[in-house]
Amino acid sequence: MPLLGCIADDFTGATDLASMLVRNGMRTVQVIGVPDGAAWGGTAPDADAIVVALKSRTAPAGEAVRLSLVALAWLRAAGCRQFFFKYCSTFDSTEAGNIGPVADALLAALGGGFALACPAFPANARSVYQGHLFVGGALLSESGMEHHPLTPMTDPNLVRVLSRQTDGTVGLVPYAVVDQGAEAIRRAMTGLAEQGRRYAIVDAVDDRHLQAIGAAAAGHALITGGSGVAMGLAENFRRSGLLAMQDDPGALPGVAGAAAVLAGSCSRATLLQIGTARSHLPTLDLDPLAVADAGSLAAQALDWADGKLGPAPVVIAASAPPDKVAALQGRFGREAAGLLVEQALAAIAEGLVARGVRRLVVAGGETSGAVVSRLGVRSLRIGAEIDTGVPWTYAEGSGAPMLLALKSGNFGGRDFFLKAFDALAHG
Ligand code: ADP
């Protein structure tokens, strides 16, 4: 039975958390979207932790609450005994939510009580000191996040920020306490709960603090935060004898089949990765300016791929430098241009799978969303990381199981595509 049930407010955040749990020894499955009980036939995935990936960060607060409660009910029915609400390490939210309202609803559903809130992730340069969130050396409100188009963060004081989003009250466990370790943090949190506080922002500036906070929260029904604060949770389950030491928590079933890379990201890192792959692998550049129809673009690409598919990957890329992207956007508008390319890549993914591809790397966040939804993927078992933040995953859903690596555009080194398939060959 799973031990830890997690609800993440976006897709890449969910993968980030899932990778963190695997690194710390928990076998982890990521479920895409609100789990449909019928599709799972009453059986939960065989894992130590389950992460439900929602798209609730910028949804209307009522909708975010509704989705999160459905996810919680499913995770409870699956047998999870502790719950984690994952949000961004920059506390992305508006005055209206959604961190406060979702946390309030989850806590109430779990019988009320108290929860800590800690977005700190020192490895990614997010730290919390005296309740203030820093990104690198800058306060959150001077980090660029104050200009975010959807969730501008203009107040770095998280006690104030969370207070505005909840009808409960918010306290602080400051650095001086956190630095004394788990026992001191536990005492401080108990004290705040006894005073009637519903939440505590907890300071953390290094991983030692996150480990101690995790240990102090062993008995909490709900923990809220970024991926960082999840690093101490596996150890609690091991200490209480619920979780065995695993040789390889990221082990994935082997999958034979042809290999491919699909790229829809126009980010610098992805353009460099395609450039590197080009001299080693058959590579097709789609030209949506010349053929501005998703179906025809897909048919051309699949014709090209026929006869080339096998254990060595082919690369199919819509990715283009800024001038070409601007040209397509100038012709169709930004949204329609993106949609055209996403639909073409999703159709190509479907065609490649029909032709026997079972090992697929997808570059681009939105592109990955489009591909996963077209392929009907229901869940991803999280494997070892290829590069930081990008694991191989074992994808199950409507079709045959396959290995998928979903890469946010700017992630990964120059040789990412080659490295991804080398890792499978030697794994
Ligand atoms: P990233 O993770 O780098 O942000 P995304 O996949 O999220 O990548 O976003 C890239 C967007 O650019 C997608 O909507 C994709 O369809 C679009 N796109 C890809 N190639 C082109 C192109 N040649 N012209 C215009 N838009 C493109």
Q: Which atom of ligand 1 sits closest to the CA of residue 367?
A: 6
Q: Does the beta carbon of 262 sit less than 6 angstroms from any atom of ligand 1?
A: no
What pLDDT, on a 0 to 100 scale, did the predictor assign at position 425?
A: 84
Nearest CA to ligand 1 atom 16: 338
Q: Which atom of ligand 1 sits closest to the CA of residue 288?
A: 23
Please choose from 12, 16, 265 the residue to mutate so as to test ligand 1's pocket, defined by most ligand atoms within 8 A of CB: 265
Q: Does the beta carbon of 342 sit less than 6 angstroms from any atom of ligand 1?
A: yes
**How many angstroms does the Cα of residue 263 sit away from the middle of ligand 1?**
8
Q: Residues 133, 90: contact at Cβ < 8 Å? A: yes
Helices (H), 110-232: 158-163, 175-178, 182-194, 207-216
**How many angstroms does the Cα of residue 161 sit away from the middle of ligand 1?**
33
Q: Does the beta carbon of 320 sit less than 6 angstroms from any atom of ligand 1?
A: yes
Where residue 112 falls (left for φ over 0; alpha for ψ -120 to 50; beta otherwise) is left
**How many angstroms does the Cα of residue 299 sit away from the middle of ligand 1?**
20
Q: Does the beta carbon of 369 sit less than 6 angstroms from any atom of ligand 1?
A: no
Beta strands in 185-310 (DSSP E): 199-202, 222-225, 258-263, 283-285
SS3 222: strand
**Closest Cα to residue 319, out of 378, 355, 364, 256?**
364
Q: Can you tell me the distance from the alpha carbon of 36 to that of 133, in angstroms, rounded to the nearest whole number?
A: 36
Per residue in 294-319, is it b (16+ CB within 10 Å) or e — as a string?
A: beebbbbbbeebeeebeeebbbbbbb
**How many angstroms does the Cα of residue 232 sit away from the middle of ligand 1?**
36
Q: Does the beta carbon of 365 sit less than 6 angstroms from any atom of ligand 1?
A: yes
Token representation of residue 68: 């999160």
Q: Does the beta carbon of 338 sit less than 6 angstroms from any atom of ligand 1?
A: yes
Other CB atoms within a 10 A radius of the CB of residue 88 amount to 23
Q: Which atom of ligand 1 sits closest to the CA of residue 408?
A: 2
- Give the length of the chain: 427
Nearest CA to ligand 1 atom 19: 264
**How many angstroms does the Cα of residue 397 sit away from the middle of ligand 1?**
25
**How many angstroms does the Cα of residue 404 sit away from the middle of ligand 1?**
19
Cα distance between the two ends of the chain: 27
**How many angstroms does the Cα of residue 267 sit away from the middle of ligand 1?**
8
Q: Residues 158, 128: contact at Cβ < 8 Å? A: yes
Question: What's domain 258-426's architecture?
Answer: 3-Layer(aba) Sandwich (3.40)
What pLDDT, on a 0 to 100 scale, did the predictor assign at position 420?
A: 97
Q: Does the beta carbon of 362 sit less than 6 angstroms from any atom of ligand 1?
A: no
Q: Which amino acid is residue 334, in one-letter code? A: R
Q: Does the beta carbon of 51 sit less than 6 angstroms from any atom of ligand 1?
A: no
**How many angstroms does the Cα of residue 363 sit away from the middle of ligand 1?**
9
Per-residue pLDDT of the chain (427 residues; tens, 9 = 90+): 899 999 999 888 899 999 999 999 999 999 999 888 777 777 888 999 999 999 899 899 999 999 999 999 999 999 999 999 999 999 999 888 899 999 999 999 999 899 999 999 999 899 999 999 999 999 999 998 888 888 899 999 999 999 999 999 999 999 999 999 999 999 999 999 999 999 999 999 999 999 999 999 999 999 999 999 999 999 999 999 999 988 899 999 999 999 999 999 998 999 999 999 999 999 999 999 999 999 999 999 999 999 999 999 999 999 999 999 999 999 999 989 999 999 999 999 999 999 999 999 999 988 998 999 999 999 999 999 999 889 999 999 988 999 999 998 888 999 999 999 999 987 6
**How many angstroms does the Cα of residue 277 sit away from the middle of ligand 1?**
19
Note the CATH number of domain 4-239: 3.40.50.10840
| Domain definitions of the chain by residue range | 4-239, 258-426
Q: Residues 92, 57: contact at Cβ < 8 Å? A: yes
Backbone phi and psi for residue 51, each to the nearest 5 degrees, phi listed first: -115, 115
Please choose from 325, 343, 367 the residue to mutate so as to test ligand 1's pocket, defined by most ligand atoms within 8 A of CB: 367
What pLDDT, on a 0 to 100 scale, did the predictor assign at position 43?
A: 80
What pLDDT, on a 0 to 100 scale, did the predictor assign at position 427?
A: 62
Q: Does the beta carbon of 389 sit less than 6 angstroms from any atom of ligand 1?
A: no
Q: Does the beta carbon of 265 sit less than 6 angstroms from any atom of ligand 1?
A: yes
